[in-house]
């Protein structure tokens, strides 16, 4: 059955979630569904040029009234990411329409902080939600169903979301560089993405500084935006431990990214703590067919044993050193890991596979939605009357709703 | 304009609030361009622990095809609608003055106080900031006192004034209105012992049959059964009016009535003085001792004395009755005026 | 017996249900019972369909009435140990076209009505067409009792 889907997401070239959305929407359209994009950016980000959308219209942020969505679409899908300027429009949609939330981040901490700091309006119905802590469960609780991309935060989402939850491997078709060349004089290690403490670049630098071989042959490229503070910190660290000074590219368009990846030998995809749901970065790394270093936690711990080189989360340096020296000593085996990883990632993270599993889930979500919305309506009414969440009257009304939902369908149902 | 009058019901009870509701609808329908109907929602306040459920139920209801809603009781005014113009007969008094006087069905426990506070909070939320809010006099006073909310006082007019023509007194005091605990007909029966020779007619439908039985037993026990005539049933309006018109005086002794009261208005329309008590609430707005009737302390002896005085001097009774009629006329209570205010 | 005749009503519109209720009230009183018509406000256009039904079901009727007769849907969802449903419309009719969400709601509403009707000691249909729809949905023992046939109506209600 062809579904009419409202797909809420950032829709610009700087957003990884936008790239994910574009790929999945394209596959849903191939499967015969009708997609309309609702942009969720705010501020400057709302003025970023939209990605192409050959399958359907792209609506500006706030262009469609949320209360019209339930009547006009078979499903409303809302992408929840950690970068507030990209996802500012998401909470209003979740609060007013029956939505399936795709939860891209396990905590939504940065989103929460930025939302609290953003100027608010008096009488904002989402005022209370702004100060929710932790933020991710508060937003997941507004969904009628949810999608997660890794097992490590599935339980938290299931505890929060009143409807069904499904775990799908993140869909992502990254720009793929040419196959790796044989390792030359330098062992080129890259890290892709916004350079911050979470990416553990300091651990790579420490590893290089602790190994005479790596001090001599290691080169570390950081491919992504970096703040002056972080730039200075990492350079000072390299100097202090005797590691080669890392190089910083700043933000790169896809072409330039591919060019840098083409000369890389190893991808360092470390994270600690892991807050993201599925990781587009690790899919990029695995699809590059280069041996990939991961922190053995969160979504990375769920990778098959033979597709990545694992490091102790929070204390990666020793394992990084060990793995990088192993790559130098075992280039063929290292290449084979990369090839296995690329094949696995291509199949597992294919947008077509994601779309094929998402569509039937939207039917499940729709079946759950009416009862969830009714319960929510009473919850909101109770709150306005001063009844707390644990009030017996509210529980009794919940039991009444469950009773009404408990009958079996008739012969033609 | 479609108008819905929204109230609550106690099963099979038809008293002053129901009369108000029905006459409001009738008079709305008499207004050009208005179509009106009423609905009375089931409301269970016993056990008191159910009260939050009843509030949630009200918030679960939806009103369609209606331009204006006139809710007249708790929790009917919790039903949401953009065009609400409450005309409060009363809030849920067990959370307010009856709580203070220890007569509430809600106990003074942690849980009871929580439920009381929920009701007060809900009233604040529902009644604050409305463009139009009306209340009968005592309800308006309580709303101001307990909630800090101002309502325009709007008393209910007499429904069928043309029936209460007055006439020669036939030597009895009429105790009209619903027969039940708060209306205190038992106090009048007890008072008869202190009003020698006074005949009393108690006419009205008991809230529950047991009330009527107990009243009869009381009259026997007090030794006044030979001076009391009981008409404990629903009385057609004409029959009631005939009893009012033939009374020497009307006795009405409710505990803290919300408003002037239909019994009072019927008496004064017929030019009959009213005997009441000092704790009768809204009745005292128009019944003034020595002017339009007698106001006694709420005990059998004082009340009996007042009853005796009412019959002792027929000319005085007539004068006070006429003064009562003038006082009633001075209130300007008519249905056209009431409807005009409600729909303004 | 104290009998409550309960109907959902769109105010100032659902004349059929009100007329049927008033007529039944008169005849039950004539048969010597205390009977009263209880009208529950209903909005058939709002999205809050389950909410209204839950509100109805949460109301207390059992302490006040010995028997309830429900008329216009969705009054049949009210709780009472001695309930007779007398329907002039089929609340179990399958939904037509619409969005996925809309059809899910229609299914839930039919399920709620089925819960209420299965509790009834007796389900009466005001026409053969309605009776057929109810039987097709799996309800047993549905009888056709048309308004106007008052002896039959009162007999069926009090049986």
**Residue A374 sits at the chain C interface (C-beta within 8 Å):** yes
Say whether A108 sits in a helix, a strand or coil.
Answer: coil
Question: Across the interface, do A387 and B60 touch by the CB < 8 Å criterion?
Answer: no
Note whether A397 contacts B: Cβ–Cβ < 8 A.
yes
* Range with the largest mean pLDDT of A14-18, A389-393, B59-63, B255-259: B59-63
- Residue C38's DSSP bridge partners are C6
Q: For residue B248, what pLDDT is reported?
A: 97
Contact list, C51 vs chain B (CB under 8 Å): 60, 62
- Whether the CB-CB separation of A168 and A354 falls below 8 Å is answered with yes
CA distance C75 to chain A (A): 13
Tens-digit pLDDT profile for residues A21-47: 999 999 999 999 999 999 999 988 999
Query: Minimal Cα–Cα distance from C126 to chain B, Å?
Result: 24
Longest dimension (CA), chain C: 50
Per-residue confidence (pLDDT) for residue A409, from 0 to 100: 36
3-state secondary structure of A152: helix
**Does B125 touch chain A if contact means CB atoms closer than 8 Å?**
yes
Minimum CA–CA partner of C60 in chain B:
B44
pTM of the model: 0.81
d(CA C29, CA C35): 6
C141 close contact with B: CB closer than 8 A: no
Query: What order of strands is seen across the sheet that includes strand B87-88?
Result: B87-88, B134-135, B152-153
Domain boundaries, chain A: 4-172+352-369, 187-349
Would you call the peptide bond into A184 cis, given omega within 30 degrees of 0 as the criterion? Answer: no
Q: Do A397 and B122 touch (CB under 8 A)?
A: no
| C-alpha closest to that of A370 among C109, C44, C96 | C109
The pLDDT confidence band at residue B137, using thresholds 50, 70 and 90, is confident
Fold matches, A4-172+352-369 and A187-349: yes
Residue A388 sits at the vertex; the CA angle it makes with A383 and A389, to the nearest 5 degrees, is 95
- Give me the CATH code for the B161-331 domain, please: 3.40.50.2000
CA atoms within 13 A on the CB side of A309: 28
**Per-residue pLDDT, C15:** 83
User: How many other C-beta atoms can be found within 10 angstroms of the C-beta atom of residue B129?
Assistant: 9
Contact between A285 and A269 (Cβ < 8 Å): yes
Q: Is the distance from CB of A175 to CB of A281 less than 8 angstroms?
A: no
Say which residues have a Cβ less than 8 Å from residue A407's Cβ, sequence separation at least 6.
C111, C112, C114, C115, C118
- Topology given in CATH for the domain delimited by C2-158: Rossmann fold (3.40.50)
Q: Name the residue facing C11 among B4, B11, B12 (closest C-beta).
A: B4
Give me the CATH code for the A4-172+352-369 domain, please: 3.40.50.2000
Nearest to C64 among B4, B11, B35 (CB): B11
Give the count of Cβ contacts less than 8 A between chain B and C: 82
Q: What is the nearest CA distance from A357 to chain B, expressed in angstroms?
A: 36
Fold match, B2-154 / B161-331: yes
Q: What are the residues whose beta carbons fall under 8 Å from the beta carbon of C154, sequence distance 6 or more?
A: C24, C27, C28, C31
**pLDDT, tens only, C82-137:** 999 999 999 998 776 789 999 999 999 999 999 999 999 999 999 999 999 999 98
A382 vs B60: CB contact, 8 Å cut-off? no
Predicted confidence at residue A411, as pLDDT, reads 32
Which of chain B's residues have a Cβ under 8 Å away from the Cβ of A396? 53
Domain boundaries, chain B: 2-154, 161-331
- Rounded alpha-carbon distances, angstroms, from residue B79 to A373, B57, B98: 19, 9, 24
Are B45 and B12 contacting, i.e. CB atoms less than 8 angstroms apart? no
**Mean pLDDT, chain C, as a whole number?**
93
Does CATH place domain B2-154 in 3.40.50?
yes
* Residues across chain C: 159
- For chain C, domain boundaries: 2-158
| Contact criterion met (CB < 8 Å) for C58 and A397 | yes
B2, β-bridge pairs? B35
**Chains touching A, CB cut-off 8 Å, 3+ pairs:** B, C
Query: Do the chains contact at B62 and C65, CB–CB below 8 Å?
Result: no
Cα–Cα–Cα angle for B166, B170, B171, rounded to 5 degrees: 120
Q: What CATH superfamily is the domain A187-349?
A: Glycogen Phosphorylase B; (3.40.50.2000)
Q: What is the pLDDT of residue A61?
A: 86
Three-state secondary structure call for residue A9? strand
Q: φ, ψ for residue C17 (rounded to 5)?
A: -65, -40
pLDDT on residue A408: 42
d(CA B19, CA B15): 6
Residues of chain A with pLDDT below 70 are 407-413
Residue A11 phi, psi dihedral angles, 5° rounding: -140, 65
The pLDDT assigned to B187 comes to 96
Interface membership of A387 toward B (CB under 8 Å): yes
Inter-chain CB proximity C11 and B40 less than 8 Å? no
Record: contact C101-A404, CB cut-off 8 A: no
Average of pLDDT values for B49-66? 97
Length of chain B: 344
> What is the reported pLDDT for A221?
97
Q: Measured between CA atoms, how close is B276 to chain C, in angstroms?
A: 34
pLDDT higher than 90, residue C62: yes
């Amino acid at each position: 059955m062809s579904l009419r889907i409202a797909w809420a997401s950032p829709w610009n070239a700087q957003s990884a979630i936008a790239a994910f959305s574009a790929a999945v929407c394209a596959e849903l359209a191939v499967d015969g569904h009708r997609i309309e994009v609702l942009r969720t950016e705010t501020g400057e980000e709302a003025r970023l040029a939209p990605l192409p959308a050959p399958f359907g219209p792209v609506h500006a942020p706030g262009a469609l009234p949320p209360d019209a969505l339930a009547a006009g679409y078979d499903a409303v899908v809302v992408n929840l990411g950690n970068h507030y300027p990209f996802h500012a429009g998401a909470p209003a949609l979740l609060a007013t329409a029956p939505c399936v939330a795709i939860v891209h981040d396990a905590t939504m901490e940065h989103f929460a902080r930025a939302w609290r700091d953003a100027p608010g309006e008096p009488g904002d119905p989402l005022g209370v939600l702004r100060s929710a802590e932790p933020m991710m469960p508060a937003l997941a609780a507004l969904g009628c169903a949810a999608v997660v991309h890794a097992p490590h935060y599935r339980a938290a989402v299931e505890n929060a979301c009143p409807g069904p939850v499904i775990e799908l491997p993140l869909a992502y078709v990254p720009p793929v560089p040419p196959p790796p060349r044989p390792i030359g004089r330098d062992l080129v290690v890259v890290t892709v993405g916004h350079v911050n403490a979470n990416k553990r670049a300091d651990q790579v630098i420490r590893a290089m500084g602790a190994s005479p071989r790596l001090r001599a042959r290691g080169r570390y490229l950081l491919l992504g935006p970096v703040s002056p503070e972080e730039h200075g910190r990492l350079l000072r660290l390299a100097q202090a431990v005797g590691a080669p000074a890392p190089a910083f590219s700043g933000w790169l368009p896809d072409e330039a990214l591919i060019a840098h990846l083409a000369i890389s030998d190893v991808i360092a995809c470390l994270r600690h703590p892991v807050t993201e749901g599925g990781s587009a970065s690790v899919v990029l790394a695995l699809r590059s067919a280069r041996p990939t270093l991961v922190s053995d936690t969160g979504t990375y711990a769920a990778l098959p044993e033979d597709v990545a080189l694992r490091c102790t989360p929070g204390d990666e340096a020793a394992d990084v050193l060990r793995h990088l020296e192993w790559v130098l000593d075992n280039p063929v085996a290292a290449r084979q890991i990369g090839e296995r990883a690329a094949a696995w990632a291509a199949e597992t993270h294919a947008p077509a596979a994601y779309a094929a599993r998402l569509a039937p889930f939207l039917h499940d979500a729709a079946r759950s939605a009416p009862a969830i919305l009714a319960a929510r309506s009473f919850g909101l009414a109770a709150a306005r009357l001063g009844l707390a969440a644990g009030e017996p009257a509210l529980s009794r009304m919940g039991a009444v709703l469950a009773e009404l939902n408990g009958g079996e369908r008739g012969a033609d149902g | 304009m479609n108008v819905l009058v929204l109230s609550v019901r106690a099963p099979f009870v038809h008293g002053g609030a129901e009369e108000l509701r029905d006459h409001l609808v009738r008079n709305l329908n008499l207004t050009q361009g208005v179509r009106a109907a009423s609905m009375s929602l089931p409301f269970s306040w016993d056990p008191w622990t159910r009260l939050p459920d009843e509030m949630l139920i009200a918030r679960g209801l939806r009103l369609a095809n209606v331009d204006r809603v006139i809710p007249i009781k708790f929790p009917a005014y919790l039903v949401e609608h953009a065009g609400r113009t409450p005309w409060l007969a009363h809030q849920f008094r067990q959370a307010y003055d009856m709580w203070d006087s220890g007569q509430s069905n809600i106990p003074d426990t942690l849980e009871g106080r929580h439920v009381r506070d929920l009701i007060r909070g809900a009233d604040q939320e529902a009644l604050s900031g409305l463009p139009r809010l009306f209340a009968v006099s005592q309800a308006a006073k309580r709303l101001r006192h307990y909630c800090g909310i101002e309502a325009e006082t709007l008393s209910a007019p007499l429904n069928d004034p043309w029936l209460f023509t007055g006439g020669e007194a036939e030597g009895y005091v009429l105790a009209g209105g619903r027969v039940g605990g708060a209306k205190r007909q038992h106090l009048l029966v007890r008072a008869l012992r202190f009003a020698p020779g006074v005949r009393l007619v108690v006419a009205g439908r008991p809230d529950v049959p047991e009330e009527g039985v107990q009243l009869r037993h009381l009259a026997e026990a007090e030794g006044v059964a030979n001076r009391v005539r009981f008409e404990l049933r629903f009385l057609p309006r004409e029959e009631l009016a005939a009893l009012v018109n033939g009374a020497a005086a009307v006795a009405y002794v409710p505990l803290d009535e919300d408003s002037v009261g239909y019994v009072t208005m019927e008496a004064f329309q017929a030019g009959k003085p009213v005997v009441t008590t000092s704790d009768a609430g809204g009745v005292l707005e128009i019944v003034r001792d020595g002017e339009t009737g007698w106001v006694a302390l709420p005990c059998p002896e004082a009340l009996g004395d007042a009853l005796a005085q009412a019959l002792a001097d027929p000319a005085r009774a007539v004068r006070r009755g006429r003064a009562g009629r003038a006082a009633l006329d001075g209130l300007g209570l008519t249905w056209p005026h009431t409807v005009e205010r409600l729909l303004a | 017996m104290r009998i409550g005749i309960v109907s959902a009503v769109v105010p100032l519109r659902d004349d059929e249900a009100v007329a049927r209720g008033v007529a039944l009230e008169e005849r039950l009183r004539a048969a010597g019972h205390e009977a009263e018509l209880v009208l529950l406000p209903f909005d058939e256009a709002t999205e809050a369909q389950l909410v209204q039904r839950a509100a109805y079901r949460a109301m207390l009727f059992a302490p006040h009435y010995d028997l309830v007769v429900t008329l216009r849907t969705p009054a049949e969802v009210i709780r009472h140990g001695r309930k007779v449903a007398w329907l002039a419309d089929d609340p179990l009719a399958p939904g037509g076209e619409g969005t996925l969400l809309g059809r899910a709601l229609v299914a839930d509403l039919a399920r709620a009505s089925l819960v209420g009707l299965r509790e009834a000691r007796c389900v009466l249909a005001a026409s053969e067409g309605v009776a057929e729809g109810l039987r097709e949905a799996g309800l047993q023992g549905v009888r056709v009792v048309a308004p106007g046939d008052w002896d039959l109506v009162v007999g069926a209600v009090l049986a």
